[in-house]
Amino acid sequence: MIDARSVLLLWFPDQAGITGGRTREPAIFPLRLKGRKGLEVHILMIEDDASIADMYRLQLEHDGYKVTVATTGEIAFSTLSGSAPDLVLLDLLLPDRSGFEVLDALNERFPNHPPVVILSNYGEPSMIDRGRSLGAIEYLVKSRVTPADISEQIPMWVEQGRRGGRKES
């Protein structure tokens, strides 16, 4: 039996988004992590594909996160005006505009927006560079990571967003 991870690592280990030697963090970790309002960590997922959104929601809610799904950029903006999530997971192919445009608008309209992690089906170096230049703290190709991989990195991203100078206004 071939280990699934090893086969994936065979090609493009650098972009696989998972590191071979990392041990799985226990799921109770997020429970210790508090969101910016001292409550549970709130994640805004901007994703139009319901099957993917549902899948991630299942894992993230199981791990103790609060998840809001926005299916378009517009809905995401109204969500952000209402509440302040601790992390944004951003898809690049959205019905009303591209994820890059959402991120660009986010930078403009919400200068103190929470850290953004791009989750996309495209892993072209040029797109990764663009995402990073727009301020995304991470760019992951969906098919290379499992929901658990994402979930276990969330505390780090949230922490990173806080340290990154985005203080509460």
Partner 1 sequence: MILAAAVALDLTAAAFVALGVAIGYHWYRDRGRTQGMLALALVALAVVAALGRIPNPPVLLSAVIVVLFMASGFFVLLFRHEFIPLGRTAYRGAFVLLAVGIGLGVLDVTVFAHANPVVVTLLGLGLISIWAVFTGEPIVRFWLASNRLPAVQRARMRFLSFGFAILITILVVDVLGGSAVQSPTAVIITQLIALVAVPAIYLSLAPPPLLRRIWRMSEENALRAAMQDLLIFTTSREALAERATFWAVRLVGATAGFIADPNGKIIANTAIDRAHAARLISGRDRSASGSTTGIIMAPLHLTEGVGTLAIIGGPFTPVFGTEEISQLRAYANSVSAGLERARVAERMAAIESNKSQFLNLASHELRGPVTVIRGYLSMLEAGLLGELNDRGRMAAGVMAAKVSEMNELIEEMIESARLEEGGVTLRAVEADLREIARSAAYIVTPMLESKHQLVMDLPERRVRVKVDPDRTKTIVANLLSNAIKYSPDGGVITCQVRSRAGMAKVAVSDQGIGIRRESIATLFTRFGRIITPETEHLKGTGLGLFLGRQLARLQDGDITVASVEGEGSTFTLQLPLAGAGPEAASNGGAETSAEGAPEHTVSASSS
* CA–CA distances in Å: residue 94 to residues 25, 114, 130: 31, 20, 17
Least Å from the CB of residue 128 to partner 1: 8
Tokens of 104: 């660009």
What's the one-letter identity of residue 134?
Answer: L
Does 127 participate in binding partner 1 (rule CB under 8 A)? no
Does 65 participate in binding partner 1 (rule CB under 8 A)? no
Contacts (Cβ under 8 Å, ≥6 apart) of 133 = none
Looking at 123, 130, 135, 166, which residue binds partner 1 (CB under 8 A)? 123
Beta strands in the chain (DSSP E): 42-46, 66-70, 87-90, 116-120, 138-141
Does 83 participate in binding partner 1 (rule CB under 8 A)? no
One character per residue 10-49, x = contact with partner 1 (rule: CB under 8 A): xxxxxx-x-xx----------------------------x
The b/e string for 82-92 (b: 16+ C-beta within 10 A; e otherwise) is eebbbbbbbbb
One character per residue 130-159, x = contact with partner 1 (rule: CB under 8 A): --x----xxxxxxxx-xxx----x--x--x
Binding site for partner 1 (CB under 8 A): 1-15, 17, 19-20, 49, 51-52, 55-56, 58-59, 62, 121-126, 132, 137-144, 146-148, 153, 156, 159-160, 163
